[in-house]
Structure 1
C-alpha cells in the first residue's frame, strides 16, 4: 500500500526535475549578447517610427505585464495600443537611446535588465526614465515578459 502511495509522488518528482525541452543553454556572455541584440533591434524599430516591430521584443501573450506611470497593463495588444496612443507619430516617438544597461542572467532561460531610456524629441521636449525588464527565453528567443518603466 505504501508503495502505491509513493509511486504518484515519484512520478511528480521526476516530472518536476526533468530538464525543460529548450535549446542548449547559453553561456552568460551569450545571453547578454542576445539580449543586447534584442534591445538594439527594438531601438532601431522605434527610431524608424515602427511600433509594431518594436513590440516584437515583447512576449505576445495576455500575461505580458507593463508597469508605467499610468499603472499596470496586462497583455501584448493593450501594451501596443498604449504605445500607439502615447506616441501617435514618429515625431512624438522621437529617437530612443538606452544607457547604463546592466544585463543579468538569472538562469538558463531567464534574465533581467536595468537601464535608462531617453527620447530625443525636438520641439516636443525630451523624455527620460529608468526601467527594469524581465526576460525569458521562450522557443529559443529572448522576449520581455515584464517591463517596469518610469
Structure 2
C-alpha cells in the first residue's frame, strides 16, 4: 500500500507538467487561429481543425459535418478581409477531459468596419498524430 501511494505521489508532478504543456499547446493553437484569421488566411485558420469528414461545426444554421464543408461555409460567410474583420478570443475555461482531449469555452469578437460580431464558443480539441486539432466546434 505504501509503495502504491509512493508511486502516485511520484507521478503527480509529471501529470501537472503534462497538463501545463497541453494547455500551452492549445493556447498556441488558438493564437494560430487568431493570427491566421487576422491575416485573412482561411486555409491556415482551418489547419487547426481535424481534416476529417467526422469534424463537426455547429453554428447558427445547425451542424456542418466535415472539414471541407466547414471551410466552404467560412469562405461563403467571410469572402474577404472586410467581412472577416479582426478576431479576438477570450478563453473562459479550459478542462482536460482525457490525456489527449480538452474542452475549451470562450468568447469571440470580430471588430469590423461593417459592424462588429461576437458570441461564444465551445471546442473539443484532441491530440491526434502528435498534433492538437479541433474536432468539434460550437460557435454562436
Paired position in structure 1 for 2:125: 135
Say which SS state the counterpart of residue 27 (structure 1) adopts: helix
Unaligned 5+ runs, structure 2: 1-14
Structure 1 segments of 4+ aligned residues over 3 angstroms from their partners: none
Alignment of 1:145 with 2:138, yes or no, is: no
Give TM-score scaled by structure 1 length. 0.81
Query: Is residue 112 from structure 1 mapped to residue 103 from structure 2 by the alignment?
Result: yes
CA RMSD after TM alignment: 1.1
- What is the TM-score with the length of structure 2 in the denominator? 0.87
> Residue 62 of structure 2: which of 56, 60, 71 is its match?
71
Tell me if 1:51 matches 2:42: yes
**For residues 1-150 of structure 1, what are the structure 2 equivalents within 5 Å?**
27-122=18-113, 124-150=114-140
Question: Using the alignment, how far apart are the partners of 1:50 and 1:100 within structure 2?
Answer: 22
Of 103-112 and 41-50, more deviation after overlay is shown by 103-112
Distance in 1 of aligned mates of 2:137 and 2:122? 6
CA contact (8 A) 2:91 2:104 kept: no
- 1: CA distance, partners of 2:47 / 2:103: 17
* Structure 1 unmatched runs, 5+: 1-24
Q: Report deviation, 1:82.
A: 0.1
Secondary structure of the residue that 2:36 maps to in structure 1? helix
Partner SS state of residue 63, structure 1:
coil
- Paired with 1:116 and 1:74, the residues of 2 have a C-alpha distance of 22
Describe the SS at the equivalent of 1:57: coil
3-state SS of 2:50 partner = coil
